[in-house]
Amino acid sequence: MQKILVARPIFPDVVEWLKQYFDVDANQGDLLPTEELTRHFTDNKDGALTAGEPINASVLAAAPRLRVVSNMAVGYNNFDMAAFNAANVLGTNTPDVLNETTADFGWALMMAAPRRIAESEHYLRAGLWQKWSYDAFIGSDLYGSTLGVIGMGRIGQAPARRAKGFNMQVIYHNYHNRTRVLPEIEAKLNAEYVSKQDLLRRVDHVVLVLPYTQENHHTIGTVELALMKPTATLTDIARGGIVDDAALVEALHAKQIATAGLDVFEGEPNFNRDLLTVPNVVLTPHIVSATEATRRAMANLAADNLIAALGEGPRAGRPPNPINPDVIGKARS
Ligand code: GLV
């Protein structure tokens, strides 16, 4: 039987399913530090199922038989794809199944932040509510405002679709190597492509939905925040590192923008604690895809990818979501 690592706890029935095909080493602890992760591979694993664990050249070197790493996430910035390609190791991810769930949660943050839901709930819980006041927790509207989407990909189009129901104008910008979406998609979403600067100047609410890459590091920093309206909201459901969190703390304190909703952070779970000093920000612990149905769909897809890539099951040899399909069929190097 081929050997696999399941790098952190997932649905037990998915582990049982994998056991039908593989000898499974299921880590029951949390995120494994690189050295420990490497140790799990030294017994010649053939595959692994990860959820954000960093897989780089040194991990791959420790596992000379490893042929596939299946990430239970759409983002795969935890994979060093140059190292995967050099070693002929296949990476897979779980796109599409989380688009709507992610957009729903982004929408929730985008409503909670400008309507100051978390901030006012803390006030109520602290027993500070004494009277009604015309200007208590005054915020800004979503309905009829301008939505800016940075990263109009599979996920980014989902909030843009929701914007119709809120009578919002949609403008968008794409990241470094992507430009416009197809004209028919633009027409359907009634979305206008604009430069990043234009977008930042015009938006009432901006949502970030782009993958993390080195080029996208600090896509939003001091300069960008300075372009935004003092009434604007920033929502980040993408990846830590796309926003310069220290710059955001300063911009929020200085009221350069009104508010932010963040589900992802630089260095998470060790996020910048200065964010806790800012009342006008809604903070959630990377739970954007966390519904029962979607997490199950992601786990099932990650298992499907692994089983198929290791030549087992009904799709043997044809994993549904290869990131670097060119390595399929090539000998491990
Ligand atoms: C979640 O962050 C994902 O990339 O799926």
pLDDT(34) > 80:
yes
Structure confidence by residue, pLDDT tens digits, 146-172: 999 999 999 999 999 999 999 999 999
- pLDDT at position 236, please? 98
Q: How high is the pLDDT of residue 28?
A: 85
Residue ID of nearest Cα to ligand 1 atom 4: 75
For the CA of 239, the nearest atom of ligand 1: 2
Residue 231 token pair = 């009434």
pLDDT at 177 over 70: no
pLDDT beyond 80 at 30: no
CA of 75 to the centre of ligand 1 (A): 5
Band of residue 10 on the pLDDT scale cut at 50, 70, 90? very high
Cα gap 57→8, rounded to integer Å: 20
Confidence at 179, pLDDT banded by 50, 70, 90: confident
260: pLDDT confidence band, cut at 50, 70 and 90? very high
Q: Is the pLDDT of residue 36 over 90?
A: no
Q: In angstroms, how far apart are the furthest CA atoms of the chain?
A: 71
Is residue 231 a contact partner of residue 255, using CB atoms and an 8 Å limit? no
Dump pLDDT digits (tens) for 102-144: 999 999 999 999 999 999 999 999 999 999 999 999 999 999 9
Q: Which atom of ligand 1 is nearest to the CA of 98?
A: 5
| pLDDT at 54 exceeding the cut of 90 | yes
52 CB within 6 A, ligand 1: no
pLDDT (0 to 100) of residue 42: 87
Beta-strand relationship, 169-173 and 68-71 = unpaired
- pLDDT exceeds cutoff 70 at 70: yes
Cis peptide before 320 (omega within 30 of 0): no
Annotation: CATH topology of 99-283: Rossmann fold (3.40.50)
pLDDT value for 45: 96
Query: How much is the mean pLDDT over the chain?
Result: 96
Whole-number Å distance between alpha carbons of 26 and 130:
53
Active site residues: 239, 268, 286
Q: Residues 307-332: what's their mean pLDDT?
A: 97
Average pLDDT of the residues in 258-263: 98
Task: Please answer whether residues 313 and 307 qualify as being in contact, where contact means their C-beta atoms are separated by less than 8 angstroms.
Answer: yes
The domain made up of 3-97+292-327 is a member of CATH 3.40.50.720: yes
Instruction: Report domain extents, the chain.
Output: 3-97+292-327, 99-283
pLDDT of residue 189: 96
90 lines ligand 1 (CB under 6 A): no
Average of pLDDT values for 184-188? 96
In percent, how much of the chain has pLDDT > 90?
A: 94
- Two domains, one topology: 3-97+292-327 and 99-283: yes
Q: Looking at the predicted structure, is the pLDDT value of residue 198 above 70?
A: yes
Under the banding of pLDDT at 50, 70 and 90, the label for residue 226 is very high
Percent of the chain exceeding pLDDT 70 equals 99
Mutate to test the pocket of ligand 1, among 74, 300, 321 (most ligand atoms within 8 A of CB): 74
Cα distance between residue 282 and residue 121, in whole Å? 11
Residue 321: predicted pLDDT: 98
Residue 35 has what pLDDT? 85
Cα–Cα separations (whole angstroms), residue 97 to 155, 239, 291: 10, 18, 11
| 71 touches ligand 1 (CB under 6 Å) | no
Tell me what pLDDT residue 196 has.
Answer: 95
